[in-house]
Amino acid sequence: MTLIEMHKNLFLEECSRLTRLIFNCLQKLEKNPIDLDTIEMMVNAADVIRGGAKFLEDVDLELNAKMLIELFKGTQDMRDRKKEHEMMMGVFRGLVNKTHSSIA
């Protein structure tokens, strides 16, 4: 295995883990929409995903991470972003399913 392939596998695993983390954060925010630590963790994870997706040349993943960052960066209360939250739940649910099946 080449060094580039090893790095791609590492980034793929990390993006997969962070995608699940974001989905879990979105679920947690349904119950506590003003949990600023969870919002910040989610946005930070999306930022890391965006960089990894760029390296992996996964345009869809990069775009979805960027969209999440733009929608929720600086958000104090997820109740103000209910529609955006629902949209991202659907997107990241699909990404979790996709990355889980590609790793399994």
DSSP assigned state of 73:
T
Contacts (Cβ under 8 Å, ≥6 apart) of 56: 8, 11, 12, 15
pLDDT at 100: 59
Model confidence pTM above 0.85: yes
Q: What is the mean pLDDT of residues 26-51?
A: 96
**Which DSSP string corresponds to 4-39?**
HHHHHHHHHHHHHHHHHHHHHHHHHHHH-TT-HHHH
pLDDT at 68: 96
Confidence of residue 27 (pLDDT cuts 50, 70, 90): very high
Q: Any idea which of 6-10, 21-25, 64-68 has the lowest mean pLDDT?
A: 6-10
* pLDDT tens column, 9-23: 888 889 899 999 999
Confidence of residue 102 (pLDDT cuts 50, 70, 90): low
- What is the distance between the alpha carbons of residues 25 and 40, in angstroms, rounded to a whole number? 10
Confidence of residue 56 (pLDDT cuts 50, 70, 90): confident
Angle between helical axes of 59-72 and 36-56 (0-180°, round to 10): 150
Contacts (Cβ under 8 Å, ≥6 apart) of 45: 18, 21, 22, 25
pLDDT at 44: 97
